[in-house]
Amino acid sequence: MDLEKHDFQLEELVERIRNNDNRLVALQVPEGLKIQALEMIDAIEGESGARVILAADPCYGACDLVHDKMKMMGVELVAHMGHSQMNIDSGMPTHFIPVTYDGDPELAGCMPILERHREIAQSKMDSNTSGSEVSEEEAKEMFLDAVGRSSTLEGIKLGLVGSIQHLHLLEDYKNRLEMAGFEVVIPVGGERLTFPGQVLGCNYSGDEPTIGHYLFLGSGDFHPIGLVLHTGKPLAMLDPYTGDSSEMSFERIERILRQRFGLIMAVGEAGSFGILIGEKPGQMRRSLAIRMKKLLEKHGKRGYLLALDHVSPDLIDFYPVDAFVNTACPRIAIDDSTRYAKPLITPYELEVALGEKKWESGYQFDEIP
Ligand code: SF4
């Protein structure tokens, strides 16, 4: 990652600190930028006169705003870097510091992938099915088929999305793609998302039936995996850091779906479950956890509510339960389940295991709205 090309926009933060005469400020920085955190502290303290405490615990999203512990330390303002405001209130005044990356990757390498994906979308639209009756075996096949979602397509538009530090590029790339003959939409999602085209690992609510395939501007496969699991639509990736073009393979998604299928089958006979509740403000789904407990009771099983700030194998593996249902960050069950000694599933997967949801509806991503 070329840190020189990042723009850490600290001016507004310094102005806010000065205007409010804040004396003690907490700084929260995403993992990839922590290497620069001390430099940022020097800049903020030097310009504003306030003292800065680095919240040094891991931070993977705006769901994870520091709150009561910092309040107890006397912190007056939280400065949260690299993520955008969500539809949550942590109870602390919070200033979001945008970080943008000044990249200009070539689209040429992406074009053959996008053209192929448009054809896949077209053939999927041509074969839209009416949702006729299916057998149990066919239903399970449909569950495992990454592109076999029951929702029908109404168009083959290219959805243009990105991770937050690249969103300022989207309008320009939309124009370039339109010049190349694509019909492009920058999807607007729900309240958890602040900007058009934004995606989070737990929210792809901008998806719509007229979008047939996607281009993601960003690096890594975290967002692409979630987007394809959620939508079943082909996705090309363009990395502004390296300029590389690639695609998220359906084989990879189907491997994940087979793993989810195996876990759902494995918990069918389980009698007791730990139900994880995330303590982070943007991961706390208490009502969902209680609904899961009631559902387990309805099926004659035990559910124990366990609240954690940070979910990890050493903090839960030892409990004498048969499996865990995770209502905290959805990606813990999807991306990390092999690290846990016992099956770790999402609430939707529990509903399928208990027969409350049908296999033929296809896989349903655990989205936090
Ligand atoms: S994917 Fe997980 S860590 Fe990222 S914003 Fe969503 S809940 Fe938070």
275 lines ligand 1 (CB under 6 A): no
225 lines ligand 1 (CB under 6 A): no
Residues 151 and 277 in one domain: no
Q: How does pLDDT run across 249-263, given as a tens digit for each residue?
A: 989 999 999 999 999
226 lines ligand 1 (CB under 6 A): no
Residue 248 has pLDDT above 80, yes or no: yes
Residues 89 and 137 in one domain: no
Q: Ligand 1 center to residue 19 CA distance, Å?
A: 32
Residue 368 lies in a domain: no
Q: Ligand 1 center to residue 272 CA distance, Å?
A: 27
Q: What is the dihedral of CA 341, 343, 345, 347, to 10 degrees?
A: -120
Question: What was the pLDDT predicted at 145?
Answer: 77
Q: Ligand 1 center to residue 242 CA distance, Å?
A: 25
Mean pLDDT of 131-143: 78
Reported as a pLDDT band with limits 50, 70 and 90, residue 241 is very high
Please tell me whether residue 276 adopts helix, strand or coil conformation: strand
Kindly report the length of the chain. Answer: 369
163 lines ligand 1 (CB under 6 A): no
Residue 366 lies in a domain: no
Residue 175 lies in a domain: yes
**Which residue's C-alpha comes closest to atom 1 of ligand 1?**
201
97 lines ligand 1 (CB under 6 A): no
Other C-beta atoms within 10 Å of 97: how many?
A: 20
Residue 131 has pLDDT above 60, yes or no: no
Question: What was the pLDDT predicted at 261?
Answer: 94
CA 326, 330, 332, 333 torsion: positive or negative? positive
The runs of H, that is alpha helices, within the chain are 11-20, 37-48, 68-72, 111-126, 136-144, 170-179, 222-231, 250-266, 286-298, 313-316, 330-336, 347-353
Residues 144 and 244 in one domain: yes
Residues 163 and 234 in one domain: yes
Mention every residue, 6+ apart, whose C-beta is less than 8 A from residue 354.
295, 296, 299
CA-CA distance, 121 to 127, in Å (whole number)?
Answer: 10
Closest atom of ligand 1 to CA, residue 62? 5
Question: What was the pLDDT predicted at 313?
Answer: 97
Mean pLDDT of 67-95: 92
Relative orientation angle of helices 250-266 and 222-231, to the nearest 10 degrees: 70
CA-CA distance, 358 to 341, in Å (whole number)?
Answer: 27
Please tell me whether residue 111 adopts helix, strand or coil conformation: helix
Question: What was the pLDDT predicted at 150?
Answer: 59
Mean pLDDT of 348-366: 92
Residues 63 and 93 in one domain: yes
Other C-beta atoms within 10 Å of 257: how many?
A: 19
Residues 336 and 272 in one domain: yes
Q: Ligand 1 center to residue 282 CA distance, Å?
A: 8
Burial of 119 (0-12, 13-18, 19+ CB in 10 A): middle
Reported as a pLDDT band with limits 50, 70 and 90, residue 187 is very high
Closest atom of ligand 1 to CA, residue 60? 3
Mutation test of ligand 1: which of 283, 284, 311, 334 has the most ligand atoms closer than 8 Å to its C-beta? Answer: 283
Residue 258 lies in a domain: no
281 lines ligand 1 (CB under 6 A): no
**Total domains present in the chain:** 3
Of the candidate ranges 121-125, 313-317, 338-342, 363-367, the one whose mean pLDDT is the lowest:
121-125
Closest atom of ligand 1 to CA, residue 63? 8
Residue 7 has pLDDT above 80, yes or no: no
Question: What was the pLDDT predicted at 294?
Answer: 98
197 lines ligand 1 (CB under 6 A): no
Question: What was the pLDDT predicted at 154?
Answer: 92
Residues 212 and 138 in one domain: yes
Q: What is the mean pLDDT of the chain?
A: 93
Q: Ligand 1 center to residue 329 CA distance, Å?
A: 5
CA-CA distance, 362 to 229, in Å (whole number)?
Answer: 10
Reported as a pLDDT band with limits 50, 70 and 90, residue 132 is low
222 lines ligand 1 (CB under 6 A): no
Mean pLDDT of 349-358: 95
Residue 190 lies in a domain: yes
Question: What was the pLDDT predicted at 129?
Answer: 58
Q: Ligand 1 center to residue 49 CA distance, Å?
A: 33
Residues 94 and 113 in one domain: no
- Structural domain range at position 58: 3-99
CATH number at residue 192: 3.40.50.11850
Closest atom of ligand 1 to CA, residue 226? 1
Question: What was the pLDDT predicted at 320?
Answer: 98
DSSP string across 161-228: EE-GGGGGGHHHHHHHHHHTT--EE-----TT--STTB-BTTB-TT--TTEEEEEEESSSSHHHHHHH
Q: How does pLDDT run across 331-353, given as a tens digit for each residue?
A: 999 999 999 999 999 999 999 99
61 lines ligand 1 (CB under 6 A): yes
Residue with tokens 């009631």: 294
Q: Ligand 1 center to residue 211 CA distance, Å?
A: 24
CATH number at residue 30: 3.40.50.11840
Backbone φ, ψ for residue 125 (5° rounding) = -65, -40
Q: How does pLDDT run across 31-64, given as a tens digit for each residue?
A: 888 998 999 999 999 999 999 999 999 999 999 9
**Which residue's C-alpha comes closest to atom 5 of ligand 1?**
61
Residue 1 has pLDDT above 60, yes or no: no
Residue 174 lies in a domain: yes
Residue 143 has pLDDT above 90, yes or no: no
Residue 240 lies in a domain: yes
Q: How does pLDDT run across 99-125, given as a tens digit for each residue?
A: 888 889 999 999 999 999 999 999 888
Mutation test of ligand 1: which of 65, 230, 329, 334 has the most ligand atoms closer than 8 Å to its C-beta? Answer: 329
